[in-house]
Amino acid sequence: MTETQTVYTLDSTIETVNQAEETASRIATGAGFEDEDVMRISMAVREGTINAVLHGNAYDPAKKVGLRFERTHDDLVITITDQGPGLDPKNIPDPLAPENLLKTSGRGIFLIRSFMDDVQFRPIHPGTDHPGTEIKMIKHVHGVGQGH
């Protein structure tokens, strides 16, 4: 298996969310993931893209969302970037805490962490007015010949 990479630059619109989810589903299927994992991967990408468009870029048409898929021998690595004010994942409320159970938002990162094998956040340009955030989501490839 050779490594492949696909990169997209998307607008900060709700249509972007649907495009990203459909693309993730197609790429995950092409990478040989089972239907259940394809659903998890595409849902994680949907949630990550919603966060980038809504919370990061605030639907600002001047700001873009970056979406990158990398297929290595062992992993599917998906990176989503925004151009927003930045995110500190330590400040995200626990959606399972009693005071948050009935809230309609705040579950995206929880779902992403549940669906993917590894999730990492980092500021893109720390110390600037608009540092942006990168979320890297990794799903390990399990299958014939993968040694897992």
Residue 21 lies in a domain: yes
Q: Is 146 within a domain?
A: no
Q: Which tokens go with 136?
A: 């890297």
Grade residue 3 by pLDDT with cuts at 50, 70 and 90: confident
Whether 24 is in a domain gets the answer: yes
Number of domains in the chain: 1
pLDDT of residue 146: 41
User: What residues contact 112, with CB distance under 8 A and at least 6 apart?
Assistant: 44, 47, 48, 119, 135, 137
Owning domain of residue 102: 4-140
Is the four-CA dihedral 70, 61, 13, 56 of positive or negative sign? positive
Residue 126 placed within a domain: yes
In sequence order, the 6+-apart residues with CB closer than 8 A to the CB of 28 are 37, 38, 41, 42, 76, 139
Pairing type for strands 4-11 and 75-81 reads unpaired
Q: 26-74 pLDDT, tens per residue?
A: 999 999 999 999 999 999 999 999 999 998 999 999 999 999 999 998 9
What pLDDT does 145 receive?
Answer: 39
64 falls within a domain: yes
For the question of whether the overall pTM of this predicted structure is more than 0.95, the answer is no
Residue 147 lies in a domain: no
Averaged confidence pLDDT in the chain: 86
Q: What is the CATH number of the domain that holds 113?
A: 3.30.565.10
82 in any annotated domain: yes
148 belongs to a structural domain? no
